[in-house]
Amino acid sequence: MTQCRSNSVSGLSGRFATPGDKSMSHRALMLGALAVGETRISGLLEGADVLATADAMRAMGAQIERSPDGIWSVHGVGVGGLREPASAIDMGNSGTGVRLLMGLVASQPIRAVFVGDESLSRRPMERVMKPLRQTTAQFTAAEGGCLPITVEGAINPLPLDYEVPVPSAQVKSAVLLAGLNTPGTTSVLEREATRDHTENMLRHFGVDVQVEDASAGRRISLTGPAELSPASVAVPGDPSSAAFPLVAAVITPGSDLTMTGVLINPLRAGLFDTLREMGADLSFDNERVEGGEKVADIRARFSRLKGVTVPAYRAPSMIDEFPILAIAAACAEGTTEMDGLAELRVKESDRLAAVATGLSANGVRVEEFEAGLTVHGAGGLVPGGGFVETFMDHRIAMAFLVLGCAAANPVTIDEAEMIATSFPDFEALMTKAGASLERG
């Protein structure tokens, strides 16, 4: 375990390319592996989570290579053509990777064993096994419905019609991916809209995906067996990664920093709306469409923030951004209330507990509830000086290193390695921008 200390600095600046979107990178590799012919992917996130998905698809028969110019080439096996993996598939820390793959495998006549690291092995998988069992796939899990999990894919899969009980793009996607190799119409209803990358990218690969906005929510349907045509995919920058340097700039006096090519899909952009409501000086420049998604260069300048109440309906569009929002809230004047966040308890860590403990260790007054947090902002300099346990969670690690940039005393995290799951260049980028991060 390598600790990392973040010291206060006088300003962050520069213009930086945003690493590829993690959600879209996983999906591009999976769908490429199901198309016959060559899919070419640019901007793929080369973080550990996505590399685990690439290895998984290789283990199931796809040919995947990276050329020296950073373009990834995937030769797929066709829907229904996945090969039985010879050994257990290790998904590391990646909840998205394993849950989506369980969906894919459920309707293929193969057996696959999935394992993961300590954090992933504690996360709930019943949420995907429950609907997928109705395809007639069989699952054997460790205690509590956790990894390791063996999936015996259905030989004659049945189509699903499933209402997702919690807002989860992973559950929605697992069901849709199972539908690809299933005769008949697979349909998912979600009460609250979650990120729509699976739907959009399936269409990009030529699948007829129907999306209906009904009073009960969004209904997404597709009819299998589907055929995927190979495609070119340009992965835009990940707003969930851009969030860290941008908030660092907003809270650190003297800063002016731009992250380029950031995905601004409204189902992912809730943090930016919230930061603006808090008074952050954010501008979206050069808005354009890249790879079928809206992107912008986002410029952030130091701003005096005020506390806000984040509406619960906004949670799905910023579900991964609450740790970094809590850091902004700690620096704001007044109280920030966040609610409707029960899902944060089952992310890479229990993020409500991890954020509350980390903020308290740094002199910030915070109250933790069953499904929310109230942060009492310092209205200026946060005392800092704390030691933060990150619980193997990359976003907790980055959030508290960001706090260190603007706190009166250095902030130290217990472990920096997990940052590589989603943002391998985080420390290099931040250092170039002017942050003072010391490993060891």
Q: Minimum distance from CB of 341 to ligand S3P (Å)? A: 11
Tell me: does residue 281 bind ligand S3P (CB under 6 A).
no
Please give the size of the binding site for ligand S3P, defined by CB under 6 A: 10
Q: Residue 308 and residue 96: Cα distance in Å, rounded?
A: 30
Of 46, 343, 368, 414, the one binding ligand S3P (CB under 6 A) is 343
Tell me: does residue 170 bind ligand S3P (CB under 6 A).
yes
**Would you call 361 helix, strand, or coil by DSSP?**
helix
Q: Minimum distance from CB of 385 to ligand S3P (Å)? A: 30
Tell me: does residue 102 bind ligand S3P (CB under 6 A).
no
Of 8, 18, 23, 221, the one binding ligand S3P (CB under 6 A) is 23
Nearer to ligand S3P, 99 or 299 (CB): 99
Of 98, 209, 319, 356, the one binding ligand S3P (CB under 6 A) is 319
**Would you call 413 helix, strand, or coil by DSSP?**
strand
Stretch that binds ligand S3P, among 12-20, 68-76, 166-174, 365-373 (CB under 6 A): 166-174
Q: Minimum distance from CB of 216 to ligand S3P (Å)? A: 19
Of 44, 45, 128, 169, the one binding ligand S3P (CB under 6 A) is 169
Q: Minimum distance from CB of 318 to ligand S3P (Å)? A: 10
Tell me: does residue 168 bind ligand S3P (CB under 6 A).
yes
Q: Residue 328 and residue 307: Cα distance in Å, rounded?
A: 9
Q: Are 33 and 233 in contact (CB under 8 A)?
A: no
Q: Are 94 and 49 in contact (CB under 8 A)?
A: yes
Q: Choosing from 55, 196, 297, 320, which is the catalytic residue?
A: 320
Q: Residue 34 and residue 79: Cα distance in Å, rounded?
A: 5
CB half-sphere exposure, 435, CA atoms < 13 A:
33
Tell me: does residue 371 bind ligand S3P (CB under 6 A).
no
Stretch that binds ligand S3P, among 151-159, 169-177, 205-213, 323-331 (CB under 6 A): 169-177
Going 144 to 149 to 155 to 158, the CA torsion angle's sign is positive
Q: Which letter, b or e, does each residue of 75-113 get, where b requires 16 or more Cβ atoms within 10 Å of its Cβ?
A: bbbbbbebeebeeebbbbbbbbbbbbbbbbbbbbbeebe
Tell me: does residue 96 bind ligand S3P (CB under 6 A).
yes
Q: Which has the closest alpha carbon to 425: 216, 280, 166, 237? A: 237
Tell me: does residue 173 bind ligand S3P (CB under 6 A).
yes
Of 293, 320, 321, 415, the one binding ligand S3P (CB under 6 A) is 320
Q: What residues from 176 to 195 belong to the interface with ligand S3P (CB under 6 A)?
A: 195
Residues with Cβ within 8 Å of residue 260, at least 6 apart in sequence: 15, 16, 17, 18, 237, 297
Tell me: does residue 290 bind ligand S3P (CB under 6 A).
no
Nearer to ligand S3P, 135 or 168 (CB): 168
Q: What is the dihedral of CA 345, 7, 412, 249, to 10 degrees?
A: 10
Q: Minimum distance from CB of 235 to ligand S3P (Å)? A: 12
Tell me: does residue 324 bind ligand S3P (CB under 6 A).
no
Nearer to ligand S3P, 95 or 434 (CB): 95
Around Cβ 22, how many Cβ atoms within 10 Å?
A: 25
Nearer to ligand S3P, 169 or 296 (CB): 169
Q: Does residue 320 have an active-site annotation?
A: yes
Q: Residue 417 and residue 49: Cα distance in Å, rounded?
A: 13
Task: Copy the structure tokens of residue 94.
Answer: 């990646």
**How distant, in Å, are the alpha carbons of 190, 210, 328, 364, 435 from that of 335?**
32, 42, 11, 11, 27
Which residues does the annotation mark as catalytic?
320
Site of interaction with ligand S3P (CB under 6 A): 23, 96, 168-170, 173, 195, 319-320, 343
